[in-house]
């Protein structure tokens, strides 16, 4: 192939049943299955790639800044490009230009949407005809949670059993249309960067937490129960699993030695506010969940948005809220949306 280029967009996902802990660090294989919802375009990454004989090195730009490919963290995430290049039998260098349209200083992670958009764009540029299963297996090796962003709707990442990772992939359990009213109200309480990265943090947990050994079992059961609740349209059960899963993951983080503490006082007040709201309503109107940071994701249905906002308005310390709906997964964009200047072989200015 002389020239192969493509542009794709993908969105992050928010985990309802959490992934925290790898049984294989190289292939990124988890101890338990996890479940998430892929968000809509309110938060997204657009990535353009160009494979060409005219390039004499791989180059990677995010939000206009060139990334150092010799940096470990960047190289690990860029690994997916090598995997796809080998699959396609290509020896061409690549230019990757990526842009996150996340609300400024939101403190939200973009690695899942970034990796999913990169994998999706590379597969098209290299002319690889890969299924969602195959794409998710590749994305998984760049960043675990990104494999769930390869599909829209509600998605499970099956932990799998095989040592080669061939059965550890993402699968949709509900289309966006089955849960059109599901929303994530993100309460930003801090814009600081994570103090402990999830990669090293989860390794420390696996090595030092005795509670973690118990978690793997019930997280697996939670994944199955959550899938059942999704199918039977049981928001009440979904909400309780979401909250217990978040609490459980943060409990094993605290049980890690030295402890990993992501939640702050505002996060804890949000937890109390949501329990207060649910108790006074006599049923679950909303669920909170936290990833590797203090920002809260409040999962609810569109009809409950006002009640949730009311409850949140009584919590001091929330800087802003961003509402995202359920998304339909990555998609290719047209050439006019490309972030690459094809004449200069550089990012468009």
Binding-site ranges for ligand DP6 (CB under 6 A)? 15, 18-20, 28, 34, 111, 143-145, 198-199, 291-292
Nearer to ligand DP6, 34 or 100 (CB): 34
Least CB distance to ligand DP6 at residue 140 (A): 8
| E strand spans, 126-251 | 154-157, 170-174, 182-188
Least CB distance to ligand DP6 at residue 56 (A): 30
| 41 three-state secondary structure | coil
Least CB distance to ligand DP6 at residue 200 (A): 9
Rounded to whole angstroms, the Cα distance separating 151 from 38 reads 7
Rounded to whole angstroms, the Cα distance separating 33 from 220 reads 6
Rounded to whole angstroms, the Cα distance separating 179 from 170 reads 18
Nearest to 20 by CA among 136, 183, 144, 189: 144
CA 54 to chain centre: 34
Nearer to ligand DP6, 15 or 229 (CB): 15
Nearer to ligand DP6, 25 or 54 (CB): 25
Nearer to ligand DP6, 5 or 115 (CB): 115
| Token pair belonging to 96 | 């990757």
| Token pair belonging to 108 | 């939200």
Least CB distance to ligand DP6 at residue 172 (A): 16
**Alpha-carbon distances, residue 92 vs 73, 234, 300 (angstroms):** 23, 50, 46
Helix (H) or strand (E) holding 222: helix 211-231
Nearer to ligand DP6, 127 or 259 (CB): 259
Residue 318 main-chain phi, psi, to 5 deg = -85, 120
Least CB distance to ligand DP6 at residue 239 (A): 17
Rounded to whole angstroms, the Cα distance separating 189 from 52 reads 43
Nearer to ligand DP6, 100 or 304 (CB): 100
Nearer to ligand DP6, 168 or 304 (CB): 168
Q: Which residues pair with 333 in a beta bridge?
A: 7
Kindly give, in sequence order, each residue whose CB lies less than 8 Å from that of residue 244, ignoring residues fewer than 6 positions away.
Answer: 222
Rounded to whole angstroms, the Cα distance separating 239 from 303 reads 15
Nearer to ligand DP6, 7 or 145 (CB): 145
| Token pair belonging to 148 | 């769930």
Least CB distance to ligand DP6 at residue 199 (A): 4
Least CB distance to ligand DP6 at residue 52 (A): 29
Q: Which residue is nearest to ligand DP6 (CB)?
A: 144
Least CB distance to ligand DP6 at residue 28 (A): 5
Least CB distance to ligand DP6 at residue 12 (A): 9
Nearer to ligand DP6, 144 or 327 (CB): 144
Kindly give, in sequence order, each residue whose CB lies less than 8 Å from that of residue 181, ignoring residues fewer than 6 positions away.
Answer: 301, 302, 303
Max alpha carbon distance in the chain (Å)?
Answer: 65
Nearer to ligand DP6, 20 or 179 (CB): 20
| Token pair belonging to 139 | 């994305």
Tell which phi-psi region holds residue 104, choosing left (phi > 0), alpha (psi between -120 and 50) or beta. Answer: beta
Least CB distance to ligand DP6 at residue 168 (A): 12
């Amino acid at each position: 192939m002389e020239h192969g280029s493509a542009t794709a967009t993908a969105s992050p996902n928010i985990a309802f049943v959490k992934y925290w802990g790898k049984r294989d660090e190289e292939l990124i294989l988890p101890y338990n299955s996890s479940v998430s919802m892929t968000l809509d375009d309110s938060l997204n990454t657009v990535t353009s790639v160009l494979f060409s004989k005219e390039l004499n090195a791989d180059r990677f730009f995010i939000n206009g800044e060139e990334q150092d490919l010799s940096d470990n963290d960047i190289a690990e995430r860029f690994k997916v490009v090598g995997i796809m290049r080998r699959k396609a039998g290509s020896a061409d260098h690549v230019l990757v230009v990526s842009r996150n349209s996340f609300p400024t200083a939101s403190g939200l992670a973009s690695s899942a949407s970034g990796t999913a958009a990169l994998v999706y764009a590379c597969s098209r540029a290299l002319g690889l005809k890969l299924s969602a299963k195959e794409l998710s297996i590749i994305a998984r090796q760049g960043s675990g949670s990104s494999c769930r962003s390869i599909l829209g709707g509600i998605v499970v990442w099956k932990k799998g059993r095989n040592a080669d990772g061939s059965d550890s992939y993402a699968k949709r359990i509900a289309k966006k249309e089955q849960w059109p009213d599901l929303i994530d109200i993100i309460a930003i309480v801090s814009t600081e960067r994570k103090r402990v990265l999830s990669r090293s943090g989860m390794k420390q947990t696996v090595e030092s937490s005795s509670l973690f050994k118990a978690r793997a079992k019930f997280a697996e059961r939670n994944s199955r129960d959550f899938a059942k609740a999704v199918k039977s349209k049981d928001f009440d059960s979904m909400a309780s699993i979401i909250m217990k899963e978040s609490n459980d993951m943060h409990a094993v983080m605290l049980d890690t030695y030295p402890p990993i503490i992501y939640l702050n006082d505002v996060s804890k007040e949000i937890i109390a506010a949501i329990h207060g709201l649910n108790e006074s309503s006599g049923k679950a109107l909303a669920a909170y969940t936290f990833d590797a940071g203090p920002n809260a994701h409040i999962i609810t249905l569109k009809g409950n948005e006002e009640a949730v906002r009311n409850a949140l308005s009584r919590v001091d310390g929330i800087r802003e809220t961003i509402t995202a709906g359920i998304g339909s997964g990555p998609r290719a964009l047209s050439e006019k949306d490309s972030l690459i200047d094809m004449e200069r072989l550089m990012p468009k200015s």
